[in-house]
Amino acid sequence: MLLPESIRKHLPDSAFSLDSIGCSDAQVMMFPDRVLKVQGDCNVSGNEFYMLSWLQGRLPVPEIIAADHVDGMRYLLMTRMSGKVLCDEAILNDQHRLAELVAEGLRHLWSVDIAGCPTNRTLDRKFIEIEEGLRGGWITPEQAAQPETYGPKGFRSPAHLFDWLVKNRPVEELVLSHGDYCLPNIFASDKGLTGFIDIGLSGVADKWIDIEKGLWSMWANTTGVFGGKKRGFDRRLLFDALGVQPDEDRLRYYSLLDELC
């Protein structure tokens, strides 16, 4: 890979591996003490740089070593997080500990003062993006993650789903949202949470977005959806760890919103 000099001069001589965890289109090179993320220029990759810069000292996230934007590509060289991802098999085997770590991560996010946060991910902003996607034909039923979203027992089309989302929008409880609060993006050690990665979708948004995504990721990773050992899953553990009651309407709402975002 041809890299800009501004990035290459900061790379160690040691060997690297390619990260295969996650679903993004980024190429991620893992060095012993740093990570290079190469991704096409888009709202997500641009926002990751801005949010990483803003979150320094506010949240345990990677430090930026170097960054560049050349010929439609973004290059982001960061420090490597310590600890293990929460989808590590040893963590998945202890669902009580997993739930406590996911809850701890949420509390970290919610403790950040959102005054001055550079990114708005509220429903008003997301609705504008969805409208643009519908007009441009970028959102189709085939992209749905859940097969029952459309069809005889679901919505007629993405436009029909969007209309329902607008009419049924909840009152938002605004916090700092990770935006992609899945187990591979959360790190922990034996002493507890160590940090977060992949924050390109982060910004000010409803706290229930991350609760829903975290709950879904816990279910998918413990039950073998992504491979590995199949275990039972007790969703109540997360809500007990958080000390909140599950809001089924909000959970369903943000699960359906995710089909269009």
Rounded Cα–Cα distance for residues 208 and 150 (Å): 23
19 has a pLDDT exceeding 80: no
| Nearest-5° Cα angle at 73, 70 to 74 | 90
- Which tokens is 23 given? 């679903």
Rounded Cα–Cα distance for residues 117 and 202 (Å): 10
Rounded Cα–Cα distance for residues 194 and 86 (Å): 11
pLDDT tens, residue by residue, 199-254 = 999 999 999 999 999 999 999 999 988 888 899 899 999 999 999 999 999 999 99
**Per-residue confidence (pLDDT) for residue 12, from 0 to 100:** 81
**Per-residue confidence (pLDDT) for residue 20, from 0 to 100:** 64
- Asked if domains 5-79 and 84-257 share a fold, the reply is no
**Per-residue confidence (pLDDT) for residue 87, from 0 to 100:** 95
What backbone torsions phi and psi does residue 27 show, to the nearest 5 degrees? -100, 125
CATH number of 84-257: 3.90.1200.10, 3.40.50.720, 3.30.70.360, 3.40.50.20?
A: 3.90.1200.10
pLDDT tens, residue by residue, 57-104 = 999 999 999 999 998 899 999 999 999 999 999 999 999 999 999 999
**Per-residue confidence (pLDDT) for residue 22, from 0 to 100:** 55
Which of 210, 198, 211, 196 has the alpha carbon at shortest distance from 244?
A: 211
Q: State pTM to two decimals.
A: 0.93
Average pLDDT of every residue of the chain: 93
pLDDT tens, residue by residue, 137-154 = 999 999 898 889 999 889
**Per-residue confidence (pLDDT) for residue 21, from 0 to 100:** 65
Q: Where are the domains of the chain?
A: 5-79, 84-257
Q: Which residues have a catalytic role annotated? A: 180
Banded pLDDT at 122 (limits 50, 70, 90):
very high
117 has a pLDDT exceeding 90: yes
Distance (Å) of CA 174 to CA 43, 117, 157, 199, 207: 21, 12, 29, 17, 6
**Per-residue confidence (pLDDT) for residue 14, from 0 to 100:** 74
Which of 105, 101, 99, 83 has the alpha carbon at shortest distance from 222?
A: 99
- Which tokens is 68 given? 């560049």
- Are 181 and 105 in contact by the 8 Å Cβ rule? The answer is yes
**CATH number listed for the domain at residues 5-79:** 3.30.200.20
Q: What is the dihedral of CA 54, 55, 61, 63, to 10 degrees?
A: 40
Share of the chain above pLDDT 90, in %: 81
**Per-residue confidence (pLDDT) for residue 238, from 0 to 100:** 97
Rounded Cα–Cα distance for residues 155 and 160 (Å): 6
**Per-residue confidence (pLDDT) for residue 79, from 0 to 100:** 96
- Which tokens is 245 given? 């009651």
Burial 241-251 (b: 16+ CB within 10 A, else e): bbeeeebeebb
Radius of gyration of the chain (CA): 19
DSSP string covering 129-181, please? HHHHHHHHT---GGG-SSTTSBSTTSBSSHHHHHHHHHHTPPPP-EEEE-SS-
Rounded Cα–Cα distance for residues 162 and 185 (Å): 28
| Nearest-5° Cα angle at 216, 106 to 55 | 30
**Per-residue confidence (pLDDT) for residue 140, from 0 to 100:** 93
Of residues 1 and 104, more confidently modeled = 104
